Amino acid sequence: MVASNALAANAAFFASLEALLQEPDLSPEDAQVIIQIATYFALRRETGFYSSAVLEASFLVQAASFPSLSVPMAEGTLCVMTQAHSEGGHPQMVLRMAQLLKNYAPYSLVLTGQEHKPLPASIRAAFESSGGTVTLLPSGLSVFEKGRMLREHGMMRERVMLATHMDDASPIVAFGHPDFPRPVFLFNHADFLFWIGRSVCDAVLEYRALGQEISRCYRGEPAAWRVPLPFEQLPASAEDKQTVRTRLGLPVGRSILLTVGSSYKFTPIGTFDFRLLLKELFCRIPDSHHVIIGPSPSDPFWKKEVSNYAGRLHVMGIVQREQLPPWIKAADLYVDSMPFCGGIAVLDAVQLGLPVAGLETLGCPMGFIRESGMLFESIAELIRAIAPLLSDEHSRITLHEKQFLLAEREHSLQNWGAKLQEAVNSVRRHSVTQGWKRDSACTEYEEFKNHLLSSMTRFPTLRLLAKIVLLTRKMNSLPLQKAIVGSLVKQVLHGLR
């Protein structure tokens, strides 16, 4: 009951913000604040909304104010990111395209919000070596100014590939003019979250089937193409297992499991809690150790877990992808993250010789894990399966050979390139979508959504309230401030009943 109340309350608050945006006398400045509040809220609370034509309409008005431009000769691809980080699968998708798919070169990159954060050298090198350029938009620009500059870059290329943050509106302003001619594609790296930009996407590139269903049902997006994550050859560690374990400070004569993932992938949601897996694992497999790469060892969440297991849990923080091979060589088995499953990290593990096991968790883990019989409904089933594997190297080798063949069939560079080319060839000219229909519920996603709702601590309520109240203080209209805060308090109280 609490979950259904929460969804109704969250949806009502979001809908109230959409209604305010359609008030006839709303100033552009207040509209921008309302949009900022709506996207902030929808990214931190399950609302049942995964896109909003109402929010995007305001940015399309800005886009329409640009004068028409003559269409110059163009070649290559413009990639757009909000920020590029050194870790995570999101930048790896863009990096692999620039490095591996030569038929869309030269590649240029524009970063709309990198600000003063360092740009990974590998990303700069990949784009510049393709014959393209890397541009960081200056800090302090308005969304309109960013959109204008981005539009000029887009006119110089044959196509645009977006890998932007969920709340980045600059591509809507840049490519929302009806005369903008270049097709626009979006890598949907946040398929289960709310995001803006649907109005300017000619095709959405999904890396899993669940993403296709969510876009079809909740974003009215029929042109959602499945483009699975691609393999990329990482150089294997030349050291033997014993040597690499000694160098990394890991026990030589013990079973070692490995998991790699950003911190958020381990945030507990209901019964999907990685700590429960660790507890059962260490209890039932007494000689096992577990290495977790990604979360910070200074995080109180993980400091407590490390202290609970007397040196058997190793939380290593962020490790650059090119430095992962020794850690993979040191391990006996890879266990997928939960509640949010892995992508690039899972492919790296199986590519470098490590068999993979996991749980039927949120977000549909890699298909090859299921096809090989190593995806389980419960922690108990998972541990019963991996316990004998940890003591039988031959069985692990056999399992890995099977998984590698299955993964290569789906994730080979050849298959990825063919799928991407099919999607690109499907669009010849850009078009802007002014509105779209939200279809009926996506049945495959309902369980996932219910689990998100069951975690009322996904983002602290008081922190959320405080942030939104601070944002309303930027508004010129005092009645609007009161309306938004009053609606928010009302809906939060209703959702907690």
Range name among 149-158, 199-208, 452-461 with the lowest pLDDT average: 452-461
Mean pLDDT score of the chain, rounded to an integer? 86
Instruction: Kindly report the backbone phi and psi dihedral angles of residue 437, in degrees, each rounded to the nearest multiple of 5, phi listed first.
Output: -95, 130
Question: How many percent of the chain have pLDDT more than 70?
Answer: 91
User: Above 50 in pLDDT, residue 455?
Assistant: no
Side chain identity, residue 343:
G
| pLDDT for the residue numbered 471 | 83
| pLDDT for the residue numbered 346 | 92
Question: Cα–Cα distances in Å, from 251 out to 122, 311, 388, 392, 435?
Answer: 33, 10, 19, 18, 58
User: Above 60 in pLDDT, residue 441?
Assistant: no
Taking the CB of residue 15, how many other CB atoms lie within 10 A of it? 18
The pTM of the full predicted model, rounded to 2 decimals, is: 0.85
pLDDT band at 141 (very low <50, low <70, confident <90, very high): very high
SS percent in the chain: helix, strand, coil, step 5 = 50, 10, 40
Polymer length of the chain: 497
User: Above 80 in pLDDT, residue 138?
Assistant: yes
Rg (CA), the chain: 24
CA quadruple 172, 174, 177, 181: dihedral sign: negative
User: Above 60 in pLDDT, residue 270?
Assistant: yes
pLDDT band at 72 (very low <50, low <70, confident <90, very high): confident
The torsion angle over the Cα atoms of residues 455, 459, 465 and 468, rounded to 10 degrees, is -130
Segment holding 399, helix H or strand E: helix 393-411
**What confidence tens digit (pLDDT) does each residue in 80-121 have?**
999 988 666 667 778 778 877 788 899 999 999 998 888 888
Alpha helix locations (H) across 43-108?
Answer: 53-64, 89-100
| pLDDT for the residue numbered 207 | 85
Range picked from 40-49, 251-260, 337-346, 356-365 for highest mean pLDDT:
251-260
User: Above 80 in pLDDT, residue 77?
Assistant: yes
User: Above 80 in pLDDT, residue 222?
Assistant: no
Domains and CATH numbers, the chain: 2-49+438-495 (no CATH), 64-230+416-425 (3.40.50.2000), 241-411 (3.40.50.2000)
> 3-class DSSP state for residue 74?
coil
**What confidence tens digit (pLDDT) does each residue in 147-177 have?**
999 999 999 999 999 999 999 999 999 999 9
